[in-house]
Each structure stands twice: as structure tokens, then as C-alpha cells.
Amino acid sequence: MTGTGDAFPLGDGRADPGPLLRVGDVLHLGEADWVYGDRDLIVRVSEIRVGLDKPDYLVVAIFGTVIEFGRDGRMMMLSVYKTALTRPGVRERTGAANGTERRWT
């Protein structure tokens, strides 16, 4: 993982995808991908609160903007299972609009 979250080449020619999650990522979550999930959800990550840098945590607490299911633009706090973030199609890497990353540990 780099400090900036940018990809960099690995020794075998592949690019490192950067951190598991960063501000600006869009998450396409199923109801089993987030704690107390009751429906599918698409959310843009605004803040990473806790859990990303803790290997013994099963979830990452985030604050994000809902961009689907009738609550467009509303902010919500949710906990996302780390295992969901590693599946293809869940995380869309778009980058933060202002180029910053804010994380509390």
C-alpha cells in the first residue's frame, strides 16, 4: 500500500491496486455486504472512520453518500465487511473529488 493510494508496479510487472478502500470509491453493496443491510446499496465513500488499518476488525466503518435506492444524496454511516471489498465489482475506484484522503484510526 502506498501512502497516496496510487497504484505502483510490483516486481512481477503487475500494478498494486492500492489500499483496500479510499475516499471517493463507489461501493456496490449487496444486503449481505454491510452490517444490518436490508437491501442493495450504492454509496460513495466520504470518510473512512475505523477498521481499515486494523487486521483483526471484520468491518470498516465509513461515512458515505447514498447514490441509489431512493435516498440519493443522503449521508449515512455504515459498517462494510472487509471480505466484500475484495470481491470483483463491489469497489469502483474513482478517486476523491478533491484529491484528499481523510481517515480516523
pLDDT tens track for 47-103 = 999 988 888 999 999 999 998 765 567 899 999 999 999 999 899 886 555 555 554
Q: Is residue 101 part of a domain?
A: no
Chain mean position to CA 20: 7
Torsion of CA 59, 62, 68, 70, to 10 degrees: 100
In a domain, 100, yes or no: no
Q: Would residue 56 count as lying in a domain? A: yes
How many domains does the chain contain in total? 1
What pTM was estimated for this model as a whole? Answer: 0.71
Question: Residue 39: inside a domain, yes or no?
Answer: yes
List alpha helices for the chain, DSSP H.
Answer: 82-85
Tell me the residue range of the domain where 59 lies. 26-92
Q: In this predicted structure, what is the pLDDT of residue 19?
A: 79
